[in-house]
Structure 1
Amino acid sequence: MEKQIIIPQSALDFLQQLKENNNKPWFEAHKQEYLIELNYIETFAEALLHELSKTDVLETSSGKKSVYRIYRDIRFSKDKTPFKTFWGGSYTRATAARRGGYYFHLEKGNSFFAGGFWGPNAADLKRIRTEFDHDSESFQKILNSKAFRNTFGTLQGEQLKTAPKGFDINHKAIDLLRFKQFLIIKRFTDDEVLSPQFLEQALETMQNMRPFFDYMSEILTSDINGASIL
């Protein structure tokens, strides 16, 4: 990384002010400030995309494209506040053979990087569970690796309270079989986010997601016998 890219305190402070004044008149009056802070976030996202692209193939074309709009979709929401109070964005892994995506969320007191599968469809969920039923050790090895545990702690996501249909409640991998989502999350303090080392830490976090992604990509693009379904 040649140029040092830093997220300034003002980028988090602006969100805090927006949280306290979440209305269109205030936002319009502070639009120029928003655009300045947005540029810092897009610059960071572009630098991260550039570095991550050295080790993974992504279909997200630019840092600017990765950052989510600040405007909330309130059509079907009980919460009618018009603006998001965090900087968020994602990078999509390219081609059908590379499943999953990277996500970042920057907010005062609540910043994290995450990856995984938020809402796997029924077919994908069944395929994952079939794999766990057949061989859970390979995935457990990834979850128990030093890099995974030090970075993400444990696998996260919604779980069933009982065994999924067709699986024994006493199955040795029942803890894995119960998952309906497969998420890995690394949280950062405000000091870490504002640190000159944050870009490097964010990149390392994403790179540590790779064994997880590679495992999921392999089973979701093959049948139980290991034959490709692409």
Structure 2
Amino acid sequence: MIHPDTLAFIADLKENNSREWFQANKERYDKAHEDVIAFAGKLIEALSKEDAGVDDSLDPKKCVMRIYRDIRFSKDKTPYKTNMAIGRLTKNKTVEIGYYLQIEPGNKSFIAGGYWMPQGEHIKSIRQEIDYNAADLTSIVDTADFKKTFGEFREQEKLKTLPKGYDADNENIELLKLKSFIAYRDLKDKELTGPNAVKLVAQLCAKIHPLNVFLNNAIN
């Protein structure tokens, strides 16, 4: 479980996003950071039993994202993120296919997986895989359980025009027009601070796992 004090710190940081406040509350941040690292360690252990791509020897510290924002090219100069996040949970280091947990109070946390906005050869390869083997993807994303958990997979950002090389009468055109291939579920504060938080997140990742397998197969 995520400790309620961790959510309280993030909420306070959102209201006081300055270096001066952060330094004055560095001890609170350190405790929150360690709390998220501990959660990541338990999640890695649980996920490794569901997904062979998750190594149970993975260092959880390396899976917790930096809270410091890169403000060099941003109009928003606030120095810190207003969430804490866990990612980089799989062995695949070349692309962003995997799992991502964002922790943000106010029922704004979520778990997501898949591939967000693939580019170049990757998007071409994924569309080709859909065109050749759409049944493999629909057997995952069109099940009642997947839809109940993550919603309609096709209702993500899509091209307004046809993808190059595909016709409007292609029976899978709505899948082929997708820009991202993501499964996403919001998490309530009480779910993350409850005793079954790790089990819940691991179970949700296990439901995303077949989608990750399809996407990895497409680009490899």
| TM-score, with structure 2 as normaliser | 0.91
Distance 1:220 1:179 in 2: 16
| SS in structure 1 of the partner of residue 31 of structure 2 | helix
Residue 154 (structure 1) aligns with: 152
**Given residue 70 of structure 2, which amino acid in structure 1 is its aligned partner?**
D
Write the deviation string for residues 37-65 of structure 1: whole angstroms up to 9, x where unpaired: 11111100111011112232236821111
Residue 225 (structure 1) aligns with: none
Distance 1:82 1:159 in 2: 32
**Given residue 189 of structure 2, which amino acid in structure 1 is its aligned partner?**
D
Residue 33 (structure 1) aligns with: 28
Write the deviation string for residues 41-90 of structure 1: whole angstroms up to 9, x where unpaired: 11001110111122322368211110111111100111100001101120
Residue 40 (structure 2) aligns with: 45
Superposition map of 1:61-210 within 5 A: 61-95=58-92, 100-108=97-105, 109-155=107-153, 157-210=156-209
Aligned pairs, how many?
216
Residue 16 (structure 2) aligns with: 21
Residue 54 (structure 2) aligns with: 58
| SS in structure 2 of the partner of residue 91 of structure 1 | coil
Deviates more, 1:72-81 or 1:96-105: 96-105
Deviates more, 1:24-33 or 1:158-167: 158-167
Deviates more, 1:173-182 or 1:138-147: 138-147
Distance 2:18 2:95 in 1: 40
1:154 shift after superposition: 2.4
| SS in structure 2 of the partner of residue 101 of structure 1 | strand
Structure 1: unaligned runs, 5 residues or longer? 1-5, 222-230
Q: Percent identity?
A: 36
Distance 2:89 2:201 in 1: 16
Distance 1:195 1:139 in 2: 33
1:178 shift after superposition: 0.5
Distance 1:117 1:37 in 2: 28
1:150 shift after superposition: 2.6
Distance 1:173 1:162 in 2: 14
CA contact (8 A) 2:64 2:87 kept: yes
Distance 2:48 2:87 in 1: 13
CA contact (8 A) 1:99 1:216 kept: no
Q: CA 1:196/1:96 → structure 2, altered by over 3 Å: closer, same or farther? A: closer
CA contact (8 A) 2:108 2:187 kept: yes
Deviates more, 1:45-54 or 1:132-141: 132-141
**Given residue 205 of structure 1, which amino acid in structure 2 is its aligned partner?**
L
1:152 shift after superposition: 1.3
Distance 2:202 2:104 in 1: 18
**Given residue 35 of structure 1, which amino acid in structure 2 is its aligned partner?**
D
RMSD: 2.0
Q: CA 1:106/1:126 → structure 2, altered by over 3 Å: closer, same or farther? A: same
**Given residue 58 of structure 1, which amino acid in structure 2 is its aligned partner?**
V
1:98 shift after superposition: 9.8
**Given residue 103 of structure 1, which amino acid in structure 2 is its aligned partner?**
Y
